Amino acid sequence: MKRLSIILICALLALLFLASCSSGAPYAYESAPAPSSPAAPAPGMIQPAPAPAFPGDSASAPGADESTGVLPILTPADADGRRMIYTLTLHLQTTDFMAGNRIIRQKVAEMGGYVENTDFRGRDIRTPEIERSADYRFRLPSARLSEFIIVMEDNFNLLRLEQTTDDVTTSYRSADSQLEDLLETEQRLMADIANSRSASERSLLEESLREVRRLIRELRMSQTSVDESVVLSTVIINLSEVILLREEYEEPPIPLTFSERLSNRVSGSIDAFVSFCQGLLLAIIAIAPVLVVLIIIAAITVPIVRVIKKRKKKIKSDDVIMHEYPPYDEHQK
């Protein structure tokens, strides 16, 4: 009986072991958590430089910014009526090219500007390692140029900034004087035409009047163009994509403290125990049919073995009694 019990227990343990291996229940091993890498740059950003202060935004006297060397943006009201035409060129870098394009277009639209020209240079889908670039030409209100520069610095890496200022006040005032003279000439010619005595004289005066009016239109168109250029400055942007490898901007891992290591050990032990219990339960469920069969076999076999052992024991005891106390024979007497 003991031998049969040992065989059944060994068979059960072997089945449990095989079932736990086949169920694939993983055991949790402690591993140090991956060090937190530096936060990825925000869309369109590498690392923003500190925003410069523009004297044109305050009540300070006009002059170059000592920290950046950028000339202040002055509107005609700030410059005592002077006509200043600004051209701004920005060379920007970004790690998120498509998001950067959207930021630029959105900010230009929000500030009341518009796009004059766009040159977008993408890449073939089969060569993802090639860096993309784009060139833009915008017209933006001059009063918001300083704000626009700060926004670009906050969202991109400003590689280069070029600003040119064209003071057209003298030519504008000269055109004003010419326009006044031409208007006076127009009035005089109109009076002369009304007082002309002959057709030939009238024809010559009308030809002169047409020429004067042509010059007046050209001067007015020129002044209108200057006024538009003063109010809406030209902004040229070159946007370049920069593809950084992960190791180029990852910082070395920070060593774990004792409390963190202890917490990892405890949580790892708990996870391992839970995984072991789960695996054991799955193994028991997996071999449940085999256990049922073994129990049925044991229920049938054990009583039979007990009966056989009892019979053997009884026969053995009878033999011993017969040997010690042989039956009485009257003939021997």
Q: Which residue has the tokens 């995984």?
A: 275
Whether 306 is in a domain gets the answer: yes
Query: Percent of the chain at pLDDT above 70?
Result: 69
Hey, is 80 helix, strand or coil?
A: coil
Q: Examine the pLDDT at 142 and tell me if it is beyond 60.
A: yes
Those residues whose C-beta lies under 8 Å from the C-beta of residue 250, and which sit 6 or more positions away, are 37, 38
Residue 53: predicted pLDDT: 38
**Are residues 149 and 292 located together in one domain of the fold?**
no
Whether 243 is in a domain gets the answer: yes
Sheet with 84-94: list strands edge to edge: 114-121, 133-141, 232-241, 84-94, 157-167
**Are residues 151 and 200 located together in one domain of the fold?**
no
List, for residues 79-124, the tens digit of each pLDDT value.
567 888 899 999 999 999 999 999 999 999 999 999 999 999 998 8
How many angstroms separate the Cα of 244 from the Cα of each of 99, 103, 149, 261? 16, 21, 25, 32
Query: Percent of the chain at pLDDT above 90?
Result: 23
Residue 118: predicted pLDDT: 92
Whether 179 is in a domain gets the answer: yes
Instruction: State which of 42-46, 118-122, 174-178, 243-247 shows the largest mean pLDDT.
Output: 118-122
Q: What is the mean pLDDT of the chain?
A: 76
- Strands, DSSP E only, in the chain? 84-94, 114-121, 133-141, 157-167, 232-241
The better pLDDT of the pair 106, 321 is held by: 106
**Are residues 161 and 118 located together in one domain of the fold?**
yes
**Are residues 99 and 239 located together in one domain of the fold?**
yes
Which stretch of 245-249, 267-271, 312-316, 318-322 has the lowest confidence by average pLDDT?
A: 245-249
Q: Which residue has the tokens 């701004």?
A: 88
Residue 54: predicted pLDDT: 35
142 burial (CB, 10 Å; 0-12 / 13-18 / 19+) is buried
Question: Domain tally for the chain?
Answer: 3
Q: Which two tokens stand for residue 198?
A: 């002959």
List, for residues 11-36, the tens digit of each pLDDT value.
656 655 555 554 444 433 344 444 44
**Are residues 156 and 242 located together in one domain of the fold?**
yes
Q: Examine the pLDDT at 165 and tell me if it is beyond 70.
A: yes
Whether 47 is in a domain gets the answer: no
Whether 97 is in a domain gets the answer: yes
**Are residues 90 and 238 located together in one domain of the fold?**
yes
Whether 40 is in a domain gets the answer: no
Helix, strand, coil percentages, rounded to 5, for the chain = 55, 15, 30
Bridge partners, 238 (sequence order): 91, 135
Whether 127 is in a domain gets the answer: yes
Whether 48 is in a domain gets the answer: no
| N- to C-terminal Cα separation, the chain | 46
CA-closest candidate to residue 164, choices 70, 43, 49, 278? 70
**Are residues 152 and 236 located together in one domain of the fold?**
yes
**Are residues 192 and 134 located together in one domain of the fold?**
no
Strand pairing category for 232-241 and 133-141: antiparallel
**Are residues 124 and 237 located together in one domain of the fold?**
yes
**Are residues 142 and 11 located together in one domain of the fold?**
no
Which stretch of 1-5, 254-258, 300-304 has the lowest confidence by average pLDDT?
A: 1-5
Residue 244: predicted pLDDT: 82
How many angstroms separate the Cα of 107 from the Cα of each of 34, 145, 163? 38, 11, 19
**Are residues 160 and 104 located together in one domain of the fold?**
yes
Q: Examine the pLDDT at 139 and tell me if it is beyond 60.
A: yes
Q: Give the mean model confidence (pLDDT) for residues 302-320.
A: 77
**Are residues 98 and 237 located together in one domain of the fold?**
yes
List, for residues 239-279, the tens digit of each pLDDT value.
999 988 765 555 677 888 888 888 888 888 888 888 888 88
Q: Name the residue range of residue 197's domain.
A: 174-220
- To 5 degrees, how large is the angle CA 181–CA 186–CA 188? 95
- To 5 degrees, how large is the angle CA 302–CA 307–CA 308? 95
